[in-house]
Structure formats: C-alpha cells, structure tokens
Amino acid sequence: MSGSTKFPESQEALEAQPVAGANVQRRRRRPLLAAIERFPPTYFAICMNAGIISILLHQLPYNFSGQRVLSTIAYLTNVVLFIIFSIFMTARLLLFRRNALHSIAGNIEQLCFTACWPIAWLTIAAGTGLVVSQASWAGYRWTVVAYAFWWVGAAWVFVTGLIVYTTLFRKNLLSLHNATPALMIPAVGVATAASTGGVVINYSSGITATLQVPVIIVGYLLLGQGLFLSLVLYTIFLLRLFTEGYVVAEKMPSLILLLGPVGQGATALLVLSSAAETAGAFAHYHEGTFLQANAALALAVASTMLSLLLFGFGVFLLCFSLLAIAETMWKRELKWTMTMWSTIFPLGMWTMNTAMLVYATEMNSPAWRVLTAALLLVLVIDFLVCAGYTIYGVVCGDLLIPKDARKPGKDKL
C-alpha cells in the first residue's frame, strides 16, 4: 500500500459527482448537507465488520481477561454506527430523493452495496442474541428481541436482493467489462440471513424448539437462494477475469468479496445443522418424518461435509485474491479507498473464522483453534488500520465532505 495519505479521486467521490456537480451553488452546500447528499451505502460495511469482530471475539476458543468487554464494545460500535449511518442514508433518500435514486440505480457498485444496510442489521440481530441475551442482566426478553430483529432482517435482505438484481436486469447495466465482485453482495446478504439466524437460535438465552425450527427451515431456503445465485455470479466474474483481466488497482481489495458466498454458505450449513442436532431442536419438535432426532444427525453430517467442500473452494479464492492484491502492492499501485473495508467481513464470516470456530468444536482440533485466533488478530488489525484511514479521510480529506464545501464562500444554499 502506498505510504501517502493523500486521498485520490475514489470511487465514492466519482459516484457523487453527478449529484454534487450540477452547479456552483449546489457544490457550495453546507458541509453536513454535502455529506448527506453524497453519503454512499458502502459505509454500512463498517458496521458489518464491527459486528463480525464482536461475534468472533465472543466465541473465541481461547479465553482472556477482557474478552467479553471487547466483544461488547465491538457490538456497541456496530449499533451506534448503524444508527448514525441509517440517519444519513434516510436523510439522503428524503432530502435528495431523485438524485439519490438516480445515482444509486445508475451505478452497479452503489446499487449492490445497498444490500450492506440489511446485512449490517442482521449482524446486530446476531450480536443481540449472542452478546446481549447471555448477559446476566438481560436474559430471554433479549432473545425475543434478537429473534424479531432476525425476521425483519431476513425479509429486508431478501427484498433488497430482489430489487437490486431486477434493476440490473431492467437497466442493462452489466457487461463483462464492468462486472465487479460487488455483484456478490446481495447474494451474500441472503446467505448471511441464514448464518446469522443459525447464530441466534444456537446461542440466544432460553431459545426453544418452537422458535428454532422455523428459522432452520427458512434459513436453508435462504441459503439455497444465495448459494445457487452465487454459482451463476461466480461464472460471470471468472469469465470476466479470463477475458478482461483483473479489476482496476483501486478495486483490487474487493476481490476478497468472492469469499462471501462460500464463507456464509459453510457457516450457515454448520450453525443451522448444529441447532437441529446439537441444540436438539428437531428432537424436541418431534413432528413428521423430517423433524426428528435421527434426521437431525444425518443433516448435521451432510452439512459438515458440504461446508468442507465450500471451505475448500474458499481457500482457492482467498489465495487467488491475496496474490492479486500482493501483486498490486508490489507495483505500488494500491492506494487506500473505502474498498479496503471489504476485506474484513468476507474473511471473518467465511469464516476463515466462524467456520473454523465451529470446526474447532466439532473436530476438537487445536489446529483450527490456533488458526481461528491468528486470523481474528489479523482482522482486528485490518479494522483498526481501515478505521484510522477513514477518520483521516473524513476529517482532513474529501472522503465524505467535498473540499469546496469546507471552504467559506458567498454562494448560499
């Protein structure tokens, strides 16, 4: 990565130009209005990253002093940032509705990144069930909150994905030349609903089989949608790589997004089957021929095998992505942009961590535990570095507020 802290004309800045560049008076908006007008949905990726780090810290196989405190801090960071960013995004859609919709619907990356909003909500649902409901002062009532949050998030992300892909079909925006890994995000979103649902029904305090079974069934339905849609998107993007080569250097870190579908798929298979078998949801429900204890055991074995297959494909995608990013760094072409935030969530939820964490339990393997802890450390460092660059870019650069909006002028709103 370049040592310079100068922020170039990033994708976020370019996306905002059609809206912010209409005339001089509009460019001279007050800083807050200027920030709202060009606020991109990519910022919700920060919430997603804080959410996955909170979950991984809470479930880390090696306990240490302050572990739960750090997990709670990450969870609260997720919640606070989600509220702030939601206010900004809602204000943009209300105050600058026509320009916002035109800007988002006309740009593939902005359109696909809108799925980050419900994905961030789903990480809050998972964190509420895992972190909050297990607290001594919380209990079952927060399990109900997490459960309700999950159903809202599952519906939200499903509808968002449907709208995004329908818009891409109708507007004919996509070609091999402009295909990006961001296309995976809406598909990853529905798979995230499956995996976070598994977290909620596995770890929430006092959860019952009556609540677990509907989430298991719907979770597998969502997983099927996300995985099979991703297979089509993998084909499109790999064909783009074969015929057009790598994406531009600025977007190279987004290759990590390719891990999303297989990571979420592996994780969802493990946590949903764990709820059915280990947590005893099917045994307690005891209805029909499928919702039985013996069926849950077979489901758990099959899910573990399939998750290993997905995990193996993820190893290839990770190695390929890291080699491409390393080559870009070697050529000194990689500069920091908001795209760097896309390196955390897919790797964390792939999980070269959550999946490994479950493997560490199911296989009782020290190797998986060590690898989980090491990669969690990498993710935390990555998060802190990205946070530092983002704060600097917002405060001192033009990452969110255009430089001309910072300068006093005679033009008024």
pLDDT tens string 188-235: 999 999 999 999 999 888 888 889 899 999 999 999 999 999 999 999
For the beta carbon of residue 22, count every other beta carbon within 10 angstroms: 11
Is pTM beyond 0.85? Reply is: yes
pLDDT at 15: 46
Q: Domains in the chain, ordered, with CATH?
A: 11-402 (1.50.10.150)
pLDDT in tens, 322-339: 999 999 999 888 888 888
pLDDT band at 410 (very low <50, low <70, confident <90, very high): very low
| Per-residue CA distances from 248 to 11, 181, 234, 334, 335 (Å) | 11, 12, 18, 10, 11
Whether the predicted pLDDT of 408 surpasses 60? no
E-state strands within 120-273? none
Collapsing DSSP to helix, strand or coil, 247 comes out as coil
pLDDT at 399: 78
For the chain, how are helix, strand and coil distributed in percent, rounded to 5?
75, 0, 25
In this structure, is the dihedral angle defined by the CA atoms of residues 162, 167, 170 and 173, taken in order, positive or negative? negative
Phi-psi region of 332 (alpha: psi -120 to 50; beta: other; left: phi over 0): left
pLDDT in tens, 37-80: 889 999 999 999 999 999 988 888 788 888 889 999 999 999 99
Radius of gyration, alpha carbons of the chain: 21
Omega before residue 351 within 30° of 0, cis: yes
pLDDT band at 347 (very low <50, low <70, confident <90, very high): confident
Q: Which amino acid is at 288?
A: G
Distance CA 39, CA 29 (A): 14
Residue (of 348, 342, 376, 355) closest to 306 by Cα position: 355
